């Protein structure tokens, strides 16, 4: 599917959209969506059901691949196992391509559903939190020019309050190593076009300045409430064996799991993170993780999973 030509996140944010073009872009998305639907593309509830089935299939495929890897470490596989592994890898890649297409459909549906409150926003240091809110969510139509892996919005982990100039695109290959080398370390600095967004501004946190939001979240009573709510969400998702749908592992293709640090957290914005369900201790599993390191990330996570954000 190629009708959604813009860089989008699974939160329904379009990146690189000039403010004055918002209505034109939404109209183009509607036309492309209808054309896709009429040509037999799966949308709406059927698309949601298909996404869930594919994730279940991906889980089964990943489980079998993990078992073959485990047996390979024990020198207990044969040529048939190797051929089976290659076939499973192709099957997973095909399912992930279909999931990527489904994410475009979902992003378009999110944008159309929020049309009345969707606005063009030019990002600066006072509203940078609108952009950082999208940093943990899946991104479609942004691939690394070096290796074709997905790219994601990033900023240095030691910057608690990044400015607009601190954000960059980073290849997800950085999370994975081949020997002592990262599989890909390509980055791209955000240009002026990347700071022009089309976003749903109905979230109260998005009409609050970054400084004011930081001040609010620093209040001890507010922090206690947020921690209680996110802890409840961690427990609820775990009991339902459910991940965070808007954020998936770029290798395994399934939803990341919301986790809380046990004791080493340096405050609220160092407390929660998302990791691949195939993570294992001692580097025995998938290393992909996403730290929830901004107030706006916690706000949109709570909004999507519970119906209300921080404010």
Residue 222, classed as helix, strand or coil, is helix
**Rounded Cα–Cα distance for residues 44 and 232 (Å):** 29
**Rounded Cα–Cα distance for residues 174 and 169 (Å):** 11
**227 inside domain:** yes
Question: What tens digit of pLDDT does each residue of 199-218 get?
Answer: 999 999 999 999 999 999 99
pLDDT band at 6 (very low <50, low <70, confident <90, very high): confident
* Spatial contact of 163 and 125, defined as CB atoms under 8 Å apart: yes
**135 inside domain:** no
**Rounded Cα–Cα distance for residues 226 and 303 (Å):** 12
**264 inside domain:** yes
* Spatial contact of 305 and 233, defined as CB atoms under 8 Å apart: yes
* Bridge partners of residue 7, in order along the sequence: 15
* Domain extent at residue 236: 204-306
Strand pairing class (255-260; 272-275)? antiparallel
Residue 213: predicted pLDDT: 93
Is the predicted pLDDT of residue 20 greater than 70, yes or no? no
Is the predicted pLDDT of residue 1 greater than 60, yes or no? no
**102 inside domain:** no
Question: What tens digit of pLDDT does each residue of 220-237 get?
Answer: 999 999 999 999 999 999
Choice between 218 and 1, residue whose per-residue pLDDT is larger:
218
**Rounded Cα–Cα distance for residues 307 and 309 (Å):** 7
Mean pLDDT of the chain: 92
DSSP 97-121: HHHHHHHHHHHHHHHHHTGGGEEEE
**193 inside domain:** no
**187 inside domain:** no
Closest by CA position to 200, among listed 134, 279, 273? 134
Residue 19: predicted pLDDT: 65
Q: What Å distances lie between residue 254 and 173, 247, 276, 287, 307, CA to CA?
A: 17, 8, 8, 14, 23
Closest by CA position to 126, among listed 189, 195, 202, 188? 195
Residue 170: predicted pLDDT: 96
**180 inside domain:** no
Residue 258 backbone dihedrals phi, psi, to 5 degrees: -80, 125
Q: What is the pTM of this model?
A: 0.90
- Range 244-248 average pLDDT: 95
Domain count for the chain, please give it: 1
Question: What tens digit of pLDDT does each residue of 272-282 get?
Answer: 999 999 998 87
Residue 147: predicted pLDDT: 95
- Range 111-122 average pLDDT: 92
pLDDT band at 111 (very low <50, low <70, confident <90, very high): very high
Is the predicted pLDDT of residue 187 greater than 90, yes or no? yes
**223 inside domain:** yes
Residue 151: predicted pLDDT: 95
Choice between 3 and 261, residue whose per-residue pLDDT is larger:
261
Question: What tens digit of pLDDT does each residue of 51-110 get?
Answer: 999 999 999 999 999 999 989 988 889 999 999 999 999 999 999 999 999 999 999 999
């Amino acid at each position: 599917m190629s009708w959604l030509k813009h860089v989008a996140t699974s939160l329904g944010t379009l990146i690189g959209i000039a403010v004055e073009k918002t209505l034109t872009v939404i109209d183009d998305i509607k036309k492309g969506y209808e054309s896709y639907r009429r040509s037999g593309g799966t949308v709406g509830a059927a698309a949601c059901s298909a996404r869930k089935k594919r994730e279940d299939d991906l889980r089964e495929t990943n489980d079998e691949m993990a078992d073959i890897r485990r047996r390979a470490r024990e020198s207990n596989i044969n040529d048939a196992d190797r051929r089976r592994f290659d076939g499973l890898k192709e099957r997973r890649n095909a399912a992930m391509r279909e999931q990527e297409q489904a994410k475009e459909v979902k992003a378009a549906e999110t944008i159309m559903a929020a049309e009345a409150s969707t606005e063009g926003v030019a990002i600066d240091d006072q509203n940078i939190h609108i952009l950082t809110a999208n940093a943990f969510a899946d991104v479609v139509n942004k691939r690394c020019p070096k290796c074709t892996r997905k790219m994601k919005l990033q900023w240095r982990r030691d910057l608690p309050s990044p400015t607009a100039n601190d954000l960059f695109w980073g290849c997800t290959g950085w999370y994975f190593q081949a020997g002592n080398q990262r599989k890909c370390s390509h980055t791209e600095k955000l240009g002026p076009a990347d700071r022009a967004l089309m976003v749903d501004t109905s979230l109260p946190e998005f009409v609050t300045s970054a400084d004011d939001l930081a001040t609010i979240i620093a209040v001890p009573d507010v922090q206690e409430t947020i921690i209680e709510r996110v802890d409840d969400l961690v427990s609820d998702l775990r009991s339902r064996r459910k991940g965070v749908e808007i954020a998936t592992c770029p290798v395994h293709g399934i939803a990341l799991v919301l986790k809380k640090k046990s004791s080493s957290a340096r405050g609220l914005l160092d407390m929660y993170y998302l990791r691949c369900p195939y993570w294992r201790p001692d580097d025995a599993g998938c290393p992909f993780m996403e730290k929830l390191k901004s107030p706006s990330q916690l706000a949109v996570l709570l909004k999507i999973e519970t119906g209300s954000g921080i404010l």
